[in-house]
Structure 1
């Protein structure tokens, strides 16, 4: 693990474990909650507080998708499911390219094996993660470049776990949300109203949500009122979807800025599905910022 420091803030990074965050603290207070998820097979039971989603976010149904006349089969990488989940960037060791007291840049080059019928991802790519820590904020820059000789469809995002303590409240706007079927795949797109709505900040209580919101303007707000802490999630293009995961029996929630809808590779008819087709040499880049304030 390497650790960045800025004033009282500390950020632990795990380049060898998928470029994951080990911890983010301010004055000893945990701002992210390290989680051991045995279903994420490549993490081998180690705790992580956040990790990158490349070259796609969330699930690909049964690991299969069709692109430009070809059928592709991805390796399952999530325990108990036949789907492929969250790409393969989190499954590999990243190289440390640049390091200073409060900043680190990690890189990954992926080359698929030749002749395999089932692969993690069938196209070559180069990815970069840049972490910039300040006493009151954390910025994450993400980049993916198509280094293959063919076009490829991509998406990206980041998966932070936030502590579910001290009367946690959440607020954000989004026009629509995808309901999920019994296999956790998108089913219907409905207005983000009623129980789906967080337009008015409210407590994250026993409601179990594991869904992707669309037409998200790029801001979400978390408050821990009993601790006087507030955190704002800011994201620009291409992050116009937000995945919310609120398991009622766990001490954390996930609020994930992502570019593509769940199973976006298999929904070419959805105009704003968020999957980008990169020509050889083309890049997709985005930035996410977490800002800490008192409330």
Structure 2
């Protein structure tokens, strides 16, 4: 039987799952990588849905945030070496020869638990046939969303279900709306500049134009870089809408990827565990890559809290 075309796959996807807490509504797309479709209340959209044609596995659906499992950002050249073995991953970002953001965002997740304001999704990855090119090790991932009227919590869990150890990372990729004079602030010790292949090139202090230690306009410059030594808190403010959002991440997520594409109505602010291309930088002590033995687990937690300003 011939494989279905992209349009047929799109039509086979389930409708958006909605969670509610007071006036807050969270839309989820379990079939599209466990992604968030939207997060809003009666007068403000806190995450901005984006259709990215480079992420072919999202089937043209607009997503406002998605999990990064079992690693964040790029693996340069689609290759890495671990415990003496060379591994090759299938490219997953159209227009670039690279695997990006793991494979959790490419897969359908199963609904494990569901209530009015909470959902737990599960993905069982078994590295057979073509799936081994997405990721060559078996794992089980759990993704939990807890909606409150004044915030959203996201929990990530990754368990090594393989008989071998494996290197992993994790994180979450939300898109925040850039309108109404968005201001951004966070503290980090350093930032990685990028080479021609968008992989990290040089580590420099997070100072001057790289610094967001004092809140400033998120649209002043084009940035697509990974910060290290992140404090674990970031602050967004939409002054003309009188809303503020605090993003806090647990100790496992101490890198922060900032993406501010020019002329686009959103920014990406991604709490993650590993530096970009961390698998190919075992010499960096704080690369954030975690090696899980069989049966071992890794957890990450993100909390977003709303307030009026």
Match of 2:94 in 1: 79
Instruction: Give yes or no for the alignment of 1:145 onto 2:145.
Output: no
- Measured in 2, the distance between the counterparts of 1:26 and 1:19 equals 21
TM-score (norm 1): 0.98
Residue 123 of structure 2 aligns to a residue whose secondary structure is: strand
Match of 1:69 in 2: 84
1:124-147 deviation per Cα after TM superposition (whole angstroms, max 9, x unaligned): 000000000000010000000000
Partner of 1:185: 199
Pick from 228, 231, 249 the counterpart of residue 263 of structure 2.
Answer: 249
Work out whether residues 73 and 118 of structure 1, in 8 Å CA contact, stay in contact via their aligned partners in 2: no
Taking the aligned partners of 2:108 and 2:251, their CA distance within structure 1 comes to 27
* 2:115 equivalent to 1:103: no
What secondary structure does 1:31 align onto?
strand
Number of residue equivalences = 294
Q: Gaps spanning 5+ residues in structure 1: where?
A: none
Bigger Cα displacement from structure 2, 200-209 vs 144-153: 200-209
Distance in 2, Cα, partners of 1:143 & 1:8: 29
Query: How far 1:118 moved relative to its partner?
Result: 6.6
Structure 1 residue 49 corresponds to structure 2 residue 49: no
Distance 1:284 1:102 in 2: 25
How far did 1:47 drift? 0.1
Q: For residues 41 and 132 of structure 2, what CA distance do their matches in structure 1 show? A: 43
Matched residue, 2:249: 235
Tell me the SS of whatever aligns to 1:90: helix
How far has the Cα of 1:28 moved from its partner?
3.6
Whether the 8 Å contact between 1:98 and 1:105 is mirrored in structure 2 is yes
**1:216 has 2:230 as partner:** yes
Whether the 8 Å contact between 1:11 and 1:21 is mirrored in structure 2 is yes
The whole-number CA distance in structure 1 between the counterparts of 2:209 and 2:59 is 35
- Counterpart check, 1:136 vs 2:125: no
In structure 1, distance between residues paired with 2:277 and 2:37: 28
Q: Aligned runs of 1:113-128 on 2, under 5 Å? A: 113-114=128-129, 119-128=133-142
Give the drift of 1:62. Answer: 1.1
Structure 2, unpaired ranges of 5+:
1-15
Aligned to 1:14: 29
SS in structure 2 at match of 1:262: coil
| Aligned counterparts of 1:81 and 1:35: Cα–Cα separation in 2 | 19
Q: Is the 8 A contact 2:178 2:219 kept in 1?
A: no
| Superposed displacement of residue 249, structure 1 | 1.3
Task: State the 1:117 CA deviation.
Answer: 11
Q: Secondary structure at the match of 2:209?
A: helix
Residue 288 (str. 1) matches residue 273 (str. 2)? no
RMSD of aligned alpha carbons: 1.0
Cα distance change on mapping 1:117 and 1:157 into 2, 3 Å: closer
CA distance in 2, matches of 1:111, 1:118: 8
Structure 1, residues 177-227: CA drift from partner, whole Å, max 9, x if none? 000011111000000000000000000124110000000010000000001
